Amino acid sequence: MTTSVMPSPLTDIFDTEPILEPKMAYLEARALLRLHDFILRYFEMEKDKGLDQATVARRLGMDRGQLSRMLGVSGNWTIKSATRLAAAIGGEVDFTWVPLPRAEEPRADETVFAKTIAAVTAESSNKQKEGSREKPPSSFARPSGPPKPPPGLSK
């Protein structure tokens, strides 16, 4: 089975200036989804410690229904709303810089994924080749002559 790694939609991001709008829209949507996921994960951890939506809503000065809608969809989040939500949950958002991939440089996670797939494929292929050459153990050999009855059932 041949497997290929899909190139990142951002691999050729620097090929045009200005950067193409669909690529910018992709980055914006991905950042919002990551932020949404990040805050929801921390909210889930705090829920395990007893925090609930009603408490977070009170801290934000809104009703629980508004908070529920806010948590359900990240599309309208801003830095301001995400910061307020994080504070009401009990933390703050911090950022890290992730360089965009250059066309000649695959992203580290893509490289690791490709190497993992290649290793698993090679290992599977080797096992199949070895398996086809192996002879069954002697306990699996067919006995010669008629079958013998089990002990205690002899005629």
The model's pLDDT over 127-144, given as tens digits with 9 standing for 90+, comes to: 555 555 544 444 444 445
User: Does pLDDT of 115 surpass 60?
Assistant: yes
Neighbours of 60 (CB within 10 A): 17
65 and 29 inside one domain: yes
Segments forming the whole domain that contains residue 20: 16-98
118 and 71 inside one domain: no
81 and 108 inside one domain: no
CATH code, 59: 1.10.260
| Location of structure tokens 């192996």 | 134
Tokens of 108: 């580290």
Domains identified in the chain, total number: 2
User: Does pLDDT of 104 surpass 80?
Assistant: no
What per-residue confidence (pLDDT) applies to 112? 61
Angle between helices 79-89 and 21-48 (to 10 degrees): 10
Q: Is 38 inside any structural domain? A: yes
* Model confidence, pTM: 0.58
